[in-house]
């Protein structure tokens, strides 16, 4: 019994001794006697190897080597100080996730050291366009600053390090790791981060991802936030992209009607919908009958007109109305030419007969067909003239907006030239139709033709 008590007493003395050893390490480390603290800790481990895996040992090793790394006088003497500190830090936080020992000993500086280190490494990699490396370092820096903020190791009143999270997301995006980038961008968007113009990218990225995922609920949430934070950005294009990629043609038409009736469409929205209703993919167009196609074509023209009514500087809306009518004219004129050819072929059958009786018989036989083709051609001719007049009206509006526009983009230059080309063709058509019938009209159309033909580049 006495032997057991003695062993217990000895054990107690050992524990006290070890506690005192940590106290010595603590005192030296806090007094910035870092090398002495290191020597003391090394001695403790040497005398008791099992101490190497104790939580307190990990903490004080981390604390000491962090100090050696930050001390300019000692940094060169201990070139591996940072890696030693980081290794001990990793083992410590795994052993003490509550960070109790760290908090009790004011050891939070290690987080700032590691945060600044990873941020520096990330910045260097980012500048060198090594986005994988940059992303990994920025992600670590984000983890460190998150702990700093969560445990109030800083007096800064912030929820997170916005720029750090943004650059982490952006680096992952550039590294083509969109799933990871999404996680970081989403964190910012969920807190409605804005202000900096660069941060509009957050919402652009997420909206495009939601288009791919067909996540309408999330898309609408982020679209609303994006419009509130960056009202000058072209968010209508993203909405149009969602509709284009994820709605059926009938869904688009129904949604358009609903939005139009509610007055929720912008000029650009109208242009986008007009393009959807007119530029129907071949595989979809083949599923529609002519009546449905005609309805969609009218809906497209109506959308373009409403776009121009909302914004009369929107040359693309005016140009599109002109183009739709020009293409209708071109198709109608082609049918007229085919009809004229058919009539000539039928008349040639009559003319080829030498016998008067046979000639009369052929003429009688073909007359109903020829009369029907002539009647159709007469109606087509009126349609063609209507298409031409409408096309001229809207091409001239588009050209009027574009002609004096400074610093035209490549697309604007292209549209200007196309408007000129089409107007020259249309006025030539009008001139030729008036030839020998109305000299005044002929001269007016000829002058217009020469004007636009002369502008052709």
Query: Two tokens at 247?
Result: 């709605």
The domain limits of the chain are 15-246, 247-311, 315-455
Reported as a pLDDT band with limits 50, 70 and 90, residue 140 is: very high
pLDDT tens column, 338-354: 999 998 888 887 778 77
CB count in 10 Å sphere of residue 414: 11
Distance (Å, rounded) from C-alpha 331 to C-alpha 344? Answer: 20
Distance (Å, rounded) from C-alpha 397 to C-alpha 403? Answer: 10
For the chain, first and last CA: distance in Å? 113
Reported as a pLDDT band with limits 50, 70 and 90, residue 14 is: very low
pLDDT tens column, 385-437: 999 999 999 999 999 999 988 999 999 999 999 999 999 999 999 999 999 99
pLDDT tens column, 225-256: 999 999 999 888 898 889 888 888 888 899 89
For the residues 179-199, what does the mean pLDDT come to? Answer: 96
Reported as a pLDDT band with limits 50, 70 and 90, residue 21 is: low
Predicted TM-score (pTM) above 0.75: no
CB count in 10 Å sphere of residue 259: 16
Alpha-carbon separation of residue 62 from 34, 90, 433 (angstroms)? 11, 9, 93
Distance (Å, rounded) from C-alpha 286 to C-alpha 101? Answer: 73
Task: Return the minimum-mean-pLDDT range out of 14-18, 191-195, 291-295, 383-387.
Answer: 14-18
| Average pLDDT in the chain | 90
pLDDT tens column, 301-340: 999 999 999 999 999 999 999 999 999 999 999 999 999 9
Q: Let me know if 272 is exposed, middle or buried by CB neighbors in 10 A (0-12, 13-18, 19+).
A: buried
Distance (Å, rounded) from C-alpha 376 to C-alpha 340? Answer: 11
On the question of pLDDT at 20 being above 90, the answer is: no
On the question of pLDDT at 9 being above 70, the answer is: no
Most confident of 236-250, 359-373, 440-454: 440-454
The CATH number of 15-246 is 1.25.40
Residue 19 has what pLDDT? Answer: 46
């Amino acid at each position: 019994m006495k032997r057991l008590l003695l062993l217990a007493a000895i054990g107690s003395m050992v524990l006290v001794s070890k506690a005192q050893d940590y106290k010595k390490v603590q005192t030296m480390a806090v007094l910035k006697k870092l090398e002495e603290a290191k020597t003391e800790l090394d001695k403790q481990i040497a005398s008791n190897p099992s101490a190497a895996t104790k939580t307190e040992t990990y903490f004080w090793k981390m604390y000491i080597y962090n100090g050696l790394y930050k001390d300019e006088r000692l940094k060169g003497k201990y070139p591996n100080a940072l890696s030693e500190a980081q290794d001990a830090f990793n083992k410590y936080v795994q052993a003490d996730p509550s960070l109790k020992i760290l908090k009790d000993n004011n050891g939070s500086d290690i987080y700032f050291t590691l945060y600044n280190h990873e941020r520096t490494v990330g910045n260097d990699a980012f500048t060198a366009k090594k986005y994988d490396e940059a992303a990994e370092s920025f992600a670590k820096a984000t983890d460190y600053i998150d702990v700093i903020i969560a445990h109030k190791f800083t007096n800064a009143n912030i929820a997170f390090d916005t720029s750090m999270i943004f650059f982490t997301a952006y680096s992952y995006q550039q590294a083509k790791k969109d799933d990871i980038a999404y996680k970081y961008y989403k964190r910012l968007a969920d807190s409605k981060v804005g202000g900096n113009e660069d941060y509009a990218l957050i919402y652009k990225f997420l909206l495009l991802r939601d288009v791919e995922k067909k996540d309408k609920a999330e898309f609408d949430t982020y679209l609303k936030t994006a419009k509130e934070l960056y009202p000058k950005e072209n968010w209508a294009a993203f909405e149009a992209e969602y509709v284009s990629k994820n709605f059926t043609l009938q869904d688009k038409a129904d949604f358009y009607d609903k939005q139009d009736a509610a007055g929720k469409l912008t000029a650009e929205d109208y242009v986008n919908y007009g393009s959807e209703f007119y530029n129907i993919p071949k595989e979809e167009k083949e599923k529609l009958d002519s009546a449905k196609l005609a309805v969609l074509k009218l809906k497209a023209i109506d959308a373009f007109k409403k776009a121009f009514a909302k914004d009369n500087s929107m040359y693309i809306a005016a140009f599109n109305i002109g183009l739709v009518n020009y293409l209708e004219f071109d198709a109608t004129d082609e049918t007229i030419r085919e009809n004229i050819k058919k009539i000539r072929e039928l008349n040639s059958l009559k003319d080829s007969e030498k016998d008067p009786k046979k000639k009369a018989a052929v003429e009688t036989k073909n007359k109903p067909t020829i009369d029907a083709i002539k009647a159709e051609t007469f109606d087509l001719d009126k349609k063609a003239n209507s298409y031409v007049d409408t096309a001229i009206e809207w091409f001239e509006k588009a050209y009027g907006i574009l002609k004096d526009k400074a610093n035209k983009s490549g697309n604007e230059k292209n549209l200007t030239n196309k408007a000129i080309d089409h107007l020259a063709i249309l006025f030539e058509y009008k001139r030729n139709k008036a030839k020998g019938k109305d000299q005044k009209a002929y001269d007016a159309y000829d002058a217009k033709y020469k004007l636009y033909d002369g502008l052709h580049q």
